[in-house]
Amino acid sequence: MTTVTLTGTGVPYPAPGRAGAGTLVRSGDTVLQFDAGRATTLHLAEAGVLPHALTAVLVTHVRSDHVSDLPDLAMTRWIQREVFPAGPLTVLAPAGGAALFVDGMLGPYAADIAVRTEHVQPSPPEVTLHAFAVPDRPEVVWRSDGGLVTVTAVGVRHEPVKEAVAYRVDTPDGAVVISGDTRVCPEVEALCHGADLLVHEACRAAALAEAVRGTVFATIFDYHADTVALGAMAERAGVPHTVLTHLIPAPGKAEEEAEFAADLREGAIAAGSPWDGIC
Ligand SMILES: [Zn+2]
């Protein structure tokens, strides 16, 4: 069985009950975490996944809302190692800023690591980083032992962030696409063909264009995925289920959540089909 769990749907601005970006994909013995924003370690524990159980963490890009809990995952896996044995934490990240972040993320913990190593832990924490060049076309970047689960990456449109990718996980049960942060783009659309589930960031850019004109939010909205355009893209790609995450602006009540769904439906209908794919 393959399951997909959102460990966080938030953005840098804190919203009560909404952790930072993260998606957990479990398929058999394979446990993959995509991004690790604020409170990921806590929400993984609530989902029954302690850090030692992670097969790998895959980073979409280096922005704080996607990586702020990654050091916590690595440190906690290490601190718990005597109780829950685990090898180095495997992390995949695009070469460039994201890989640099992973490479140096435990540096600020040097004093803590030194004390714990002297008194409790037999050796320092280990992170095995696999950095890969951002692919122009979908490219397999990871395979499970035995090859039942594969992860494909492709570069997306999140400029001015230089290195940002979306991922697709293919399992024996089906395929899920995880957008990371991006405008609606053909790269993710291509990744969606034949997939069963799309987890995509969502920004009500078109609906709120007038309200944010001339503010910093207009700039931010420019490099995120407009929900109406996203609905059209999902329809064109034929992906049967779309799950919205990384919601901008964070909805505070049910009616505001419904507006995201309405945008998506509007886009899908404009692309030519009666909508029945939201979940
Ligand atoms: Zn983000």
Domain layout of the chain by residue ranges: 2-270
Residue 30: pLDDT band (50, 70, 90) is very high
Give pLDDT, residue 274: 65
Alpha carbon of 274 to ligand 1 centroid (Å)? 30
Mean pLDDT across the stretch 230-247?
A: 95
> What is d(CA 155, CA 201) in angstroms, rounded to the nearest whole number?
15
- Comparison of pLDDT for 15 and 42, the residue scoring more: 42
The region, left, alpha or beta by phi > 0 then psi within -120 to 50, assigned to residue 146 is left
Q: Is the per-residue pLDDT at 279 higher than 50?
A: no
Mean pLDDT across the stretch 143-171?
A: 95
Residue 63, classed as helix, strand or coil, is coil
Residue 77 structure tokens: 């896996």
Distance of CA 83 to the CA centre of its chain: 28
Question: DSSP character for 256?
Answer: H
Alpha carbon of 239 to ligand 1 centroid (Å)? 23
Q: Is the per-residue pLDDT at 53 higher than 80?
A: yes
Q: Is the per-residue pLDDT at 241 higher than 50?
A: yes
Alpha carbon of 158 to ligand 1 centroid (Å)? 10
Q: Is the per-residue pLDDT at 277 higher than 80?
A: no
Catalytic center residues: 65
Residue 210: pLDDT band (50, 70, 90) is confident
Residue 239 structure tokens: 């992906």
| Mean pLDDT (the chain, rounded) | 94
Alpha carbon of 113 to ligand 1 centroid (Å)? 29
| Closest C-alpha among 221, 193, 194, 196 to residue 206 | 221
Q: Is the per-residue pLDDT at 25 higher than 80?
A: yes
Give pLDDT, residue 216: 85
| Closest C-alpha among 230, 209, 229 to residue 220 | 209
Alpha carbon of 17 to ligand 1 centroid (Å)? 17
47 CB-near residues (< 8 Å, 6+ apart): 5, 7, 24
pLDDT (tens digit, 9 = 90+) per residue, 178-188? Answer: 999 999 999 99
Alpha carbon of 60 to ligand 1 centroid (Å)? 9
Mean pLDDT across the stretch 53-80?
A: 97
Give pLDDT, residue 275: 55
Alpha carbon of 181 to ligand 1 centroid (Å)? 6
Mean pLDDT across the stretch 74-103?
A: 96
CATH code for residues 2-270: 3.60.15.10
Which residue carries 């280096």 as its tokens? 62
72 membership: H or E segment, kind and range: helix 70-79
> What is d(CA 208, CA 256) in angstroms, rounded to the nearest whole number?
12
Alpha carbon of 251 to ligand 1 centroid (Å)? 16
Q: Is the Cβ–Cβ distance between 236 and 260 less than 8 Å? A: no
